[in-house]
Structure 1
Amino acid sequence: MFGKRRKRGRHSANRGTAQPEVEFDGADGPEEGPFDVAQAPDDGLNRLDLGSIRLPVPDGAQLQVEMDPTGAVRAVHLLTAVGQLTVSAFAAPRTDRLWPEVSGEMIAQFKNDGFRILRENGEWGEEVAARNNEVHLRVVGVDGPRWMLRGIAAAPNEELAAQAAQALYALMRDTVVVRGEQPMPVRTPLPIELPEAIARHIQAQQQG
């Protein structure tokens, strides 16, 4: 569905431990993603090009595009049999890690919204599981070179939550991030650009 799994690479080294700095200078590149575009593998995997991210859409998934009032794309969701998967990229500092700070803020917000929170040590470090009576969430963050990739899996019940989390991991392992060279404030969402055919389809729906 997502391509062959590779050995754990640089992103998962020292997982779950404090990492004051992030270094991304290896010429060989990680064996397992998410990948920076400069080190993206030539693996023949079919990825949906969304400008700042390239996603390996799983078989049977439906694309749901979330627009903001200005007409820009706010997010792209993948609707699967086990839940909704959302992967987003953000501008980050060159060396400092952004995910620990962001995850702490998300935990505080989840608690304010009445979610039960569980912090777990995952493939790329600490991740967040949050649930209430209506949804089970899994939030994963990966710090890359001047970007942070955040993935969210939302499942309707506990039975599907584990499967949705595994689907999210597989999706993120093969995602490619295209940060670009332009300066951006930290935490700025990297712009999403829809393929022309999808953009035309959405425009036709809005006009209809």
Structure 2
Amino acid sequence: MGLFGRRRRRDDLEEDYDDFADLREDADDDEYQVVGGDLFDGAGPWDEEDAPEDGLDRLDLGSVRLPVPQGAQLQVEMDPSGPVKAVHVVLPVGQLTVTAYAAPRSGGLWHEVSTELAEQLRADGATVRTTTGEWGLELLAALGEMSLRFVGVDGPRWMLRGVVAGPPDRLENSAAALYELVRGTVVIRGGMPMPVRTPLPIELPPAIAQHIEQAQGGGD
């Protein structure tokens, strides 16, 4: 179930990029600081053609551009075959992941996917319930000592899925962090035909790619 990406093979590679502060000024690794506040209320996520000129410093990952909060760390999940599987934004309130997928022009993919995702989570032993949030249907799941919140947004030929995983006692803060990240995200779908549900490719900025290459080169 490549769409969900919850199961990892043991030989997957994960690299922490803890020096994201080098790409921003005045970053504080010990605090979560919002990047937009009311600027995003009722706004994104944005299609590339409608992206606002708001001056925000977004992390360019090819298919998505993320307004990563100050104080965040990045965790890059890579497949052994080479492609980047995901880039996780790690904050004190939890781990956030935003992924874009190819979708039909008619939309409605999130409703279909959320049903399958809920079934998969329950099969894994999670308690799942639905709620209504800023973009409509959301999933809330409890799995062991972890709480998860999933949101989905149907865009023009793309669907954006956001998830935050964190401790149950920080649910409110983790939800706020997820909403803000999704509100400010820009999706670059591109014109290439792609099967529905295909994850849009992730491309790492040169500084992060170089960091990972050096880290892997220093291993066994």
TM-score (norm 1): 0.87
Q: Is 1:78 aligned to 2:89, yes or no?
A: yes
- 1:142 is paired with a residue whose SS is strand
Contact kept? 1:154, 1:161, Cα under 8 Å: no
Amino acid aligned to 1:168: L
Aligned to 1:35: 46
1:7 CA displacement: 7.0
Q: Is 1:193 aligned to 2:203, yes or no?
A: yes
Q: Report matched runs for 1:1-208 at 5 Å.
A: 1-6=34-39, 9=42, 32-155=43-166, 157-208=167-218
- 2:38 is paired with a residue whose SS is coil
- Structure 1 unaligned segments of length 5 or more: list them: 10-31
1:158 CA displacement: 1.5
Contact kept? 2:101, 2:159, Cα under 8 Å: yes
Separation (CA, whole Å) in 1 of partners of 2:152 and 2:95 = 17
- 2:192 is paired with a residue whose SS is coil
Aligned to 1:19: none
1:5 CA displacement: 2.1
Separation (CA, whole Å) in 1 of partners of 2:108 and 2:120 = 20
TM-aligned CA distance change 1:184 to 1:115, over 3 Å: same
1:70-112 C-alpha deviation (Å, 9 max, x unpaired): 1110000011010000000000001131000100000000110
Separation (CA, whole Å) in 2 of partners of 1:6 and 1:196 = 29
- 1:5 is paired with a residue whose SS is helix
Separation (CA, whole Å) in 1 of partners of 2:168 and 2:210 = 37
Separation (CA, whole Å) in 2 of partners of 1:80 and 1:103 = 25
- 2:101 is paired with a residue whose SS is strand
Separation (CA, whole Å) in 1 of partners of 2:40 and 2:78 = 36
Amino acid aligned to 1:191: P
1:6 CA displacement: 4.2
1:133 CA displacement: 2.1
Separation (CA, whole Å) in 1 of partners of 2:71 and 2:162 = 19
TM-aligned CA distance change 1:195 to 1:117, over 3 Å: same
Contact kept? 2:40, 2:184, Cα under 8 Å: no
Identify which range, 33-42 or 133-142, moves more after superposition: 133-142
* Matched residue count: 185
TM-score (norm 2): 0.82
For the aligned residue pairs, the C-alpha RMSD in angstroms reads 1.1
